[in-house]
Amino acid sequence: MAGSGNQSSARVPRPHGTLPNQGNVQIQASGTAPLANANGPVQTISVAQAVEQYIQTLLVDTSFLGIRIRVHGVLAKRLREVEQFLHYDTNHEQHGISTIIGKQGPGAGIHTYGCAIDVNYETSPYLMHESGEAALDATLPPVYNRIAMFILGRASVIPLDITQYNSPAHRNAMYTSLKQESDAMKWYFGVYMRDPNGMLDAYLKSANGADRAKKTSWAGVSAGTAPSAVDALRQMQADWVTLTGRSNGPQIALWSSGTRAARDPCDFGMCYPSAAVYPVQPGYKSAPDAPFVSKGKVIRDPSNGFLNFDHEIVDALCDHGFLWGAVGFGSQSGDVMHFELTELGKEVHAAVKRITSGGS
C-alpha cells in the first residue's frame, strides 16, 4: 500500500536470497562508498545513494494493461505473461484497473525495489490488520460487521477470515465475499446514508431490511430491535468517521417544504462526531491512520467501496506468482491494492543488505 509508513516497515523481507553483490561498491565506516574511476580520482557516494544506484540497475520502464509503470525487470516479465494470459493484446480489457504504482522511494518495503505494484490506490485501501495499528483495529470490526449484517445478512470476513484463508480455492471465496462487502459499503454510505428519509426508511420498513436491522448492533438501540432511520443515520455517521478519520462527512438529502435537497447534518442537530486520535505505537514512527484517510490529493470515500477490480485480474496475477495483500499476509492481511513477488523482494533485500554492510 503506497504512502503508509507503518505497513512498509512491517513487510521489509528478511535478508536472505541469492542475488550477487555489486563488486564496485564497498561501504566504509565513514558511511561512504568509493567508486573506482580509471580516468580520475576515486569518487565517493553515500550509502543511500549506493543502494539506490544498485536498485536502478534492476528496474525497467514497462506497461501493464496500457498503464505505464517502473518495476523490477523480473516483475515486468511476469506482468507481460499475465497480459498474454488475459489476451490483452486483442481485447484491451483493463479489468477495472485505472491506476498502478510500481517502484517507490526508500522505506516503502519491497516497493522500494520495484518488486510490488499497487492497483487503484485511490479506491483500494488497507482495510485492517496493518502493523502498528492495534488501537485503530480495535474499532474496526464492529463497523465492518454492521455494514455486512445490515446489507448482506452475514458477518464481515475482514476482521478474521481474510487472515486465515489464502489457498487458491479460499482466495476465490474471499474475493467474492470482499466484493460483496465493497458493494454493501456503497449502499450503506451511499444510497441509504445520503437519503435517510427515502431509501433508508423504506429499507428499514421492508421485511428483509427490518430483519437484518434487528440482527445488527446499533449504538443506543436495544438488541433485537430495528432502529429508526434517525438512529441508523447517527450510527452511519459515526462509522463514516471511524473509517475515514474525518468529521466532514457527506451532506444528507432531506425533504423540506416538499422539496428534496442535500443539507448539512448540523442544520438539524446531527453533526458528525469528532474523529479519534491514536497515539504512535511503541516501535513505530507514525500513528495509525484510518483505512479511508485522505492521502495528499487523494480523498478516499467509503461510499465508493474498496474493491473495484475484477476477479480475473486477481486470479491471473496470483496464478503467475504474485501474492495478493488482501488475503496473503496472514495476520496482516487487508491490503487490497497490493500485489507482490515476495521471493524476488527477499533476494533484492538480501543484496541491499550486503551493500550496506560493506559486501560482507
Residue 39: the pLDDT is 53
Quick one: average pLDDT of 136-157? Answer: 98
Lowest mean pLDDT among 10-19, 129-138, 217-226: 10-19
The confidence band for 87, taking pLDDT boundaries of 50, 70 and 90, is very high
Three-class secondary structure assignment of the chain = CCCCHHHHHHCCCCCCCCCCCCCCCCCCCCCEEEECCCCCCCEEEEHHHHHHHHHHHHEEEEEECCEEEEEEHHHHHHHHHHHHHHCHHHHCCCCCCCCEECCCCCCCHHHHHCCEEEECCCCCCECCCCCCCHHHHCCHHHHHHHHHHHHHCCCCCCCCHHHCCCCHHHHHHHHHHHHHHHHHHHHHHHHHHHCHHHHHHHHHHCHHHHHHHHCCCCCCCCCCCCCCHHHHHHHHHHHHHHHHCCCCCCCEEEEECCEEEEECHHHHCCCCCCCCCCCCCCCCCCCCCCCCCCECCECCCHHHCCCCCCHHHHHHHHHCCCEECCCCCHHHCCECCEEECHHHHHHHHHHHHHHHCCCC
Q: Tell me which residue of 212, 156, 209, 145 sits closest to 179, measured CA to CA.
A: 156
Mean pLDDT for 249-254 is: 80
pTM, 2 dp: 0.86
Retrieve residue 285's grid coordinates: 514512527
Nearest CA to 144 among 243, 213, 45?
243
Ramachandran quadrant class, 196 (left: phi over 0; alpha: psi -120 to 50; beta: rest): alpha
Span 152-176, average pLDDT:
94
**Residue 32 or 162, more confident:** 162
CB neighbour list of residue 164: distance below 8 Å, 6 or more residues apart: none
- Averaged pLDDT for residues 174-184: 98
Cα separation, 313 vs 145, in Å, equals 27
Please report where in the chains the cell 447534518 appears, as a residue. Answer: 265
pLDDT at 258 over 70: no
Query: Once rounded to an integer, what is the mean pLDDT over residues 137-154?
Result: 98
pLDDT at 115 over 70: yes
Q: Please, which residues have CB within 8 angstroms of residue 249's CB and are 6 or more apart in sequence? A: 237, 240, 241, 265, 272
12 pLDDT above the threshold of 70 = no
Q: Is the pLDDT of residue 316 over 60?
A: yes
Mean pLDDT of all residues in 168-191: 95
Q: 265 pLDDT band (50/70/90 cuts)?
A: confident
User: In terms of pLDDT, which residue wins out, 175 or 253?
Assistant: 175
Rounded distance between C-alpha atoms, residue 310 and residue 232, angstroms: 32
195 versus 94: the higher-pLDDT residue is 94
Predicted confidence (pLDDT) per residue in 214-237, tens digit: 999 999 999 999 999 999 999 999
42-55 pLDDT per residue, tens: 556 788 888 999 99
Cβ proximity of 325 and 118 under 8 Å:
no
Q: Domains of the chain by range and CATH?
A: 5-124+308-356 (3.30.1380), 134-268 (no CATH)
The pLDDT of residue 7 is above 80: no
* Stretch 6-15: mean pLDDT: 36
Q: What is the Cα gyration radius of the chain? A: 24
Q: 5 or 225: which carries more pLDDT confidence?
A: 225
Asked if 242 and 248 touch (Cβ cutoff 8 Å), the reply is: no
State residue 257's pLDDT score: 53
> What's the confidence (pLDDT) of residue 42?
54
pLDDT tens per residue across span 320-348: 999 999 999 999 999 999 999 999 999 99
Residue 13 has pLDDT above 70, yes or no: no
Give the C-alpha distances (Å, rounded to integers) separating 200 from 204, 241, 254: 6, 19, 11
Give the pLDDT confidence score for residue 298 in this predicted structure: 85
**Residues in Cβ contact with 351 at an 8 Å cutoff, skipping those fewer than 6 apart:** 17, 19, 20, 21, 22, 54
pLDDT band at 32 (very low <50, low <70, confident <90, very high): very low
Is 18 a residue whose pLDDT tops 50? no
Q: How confident is the model at residue 253 (pLDDT cuts 50, 70, 90)?
A: confident
- Predicted confidence at residue 47, as pLDDT, reads 83
Residue 25: pLDDT over 60? no
Q: What is the model's pLDDT at position 206?
A: 97
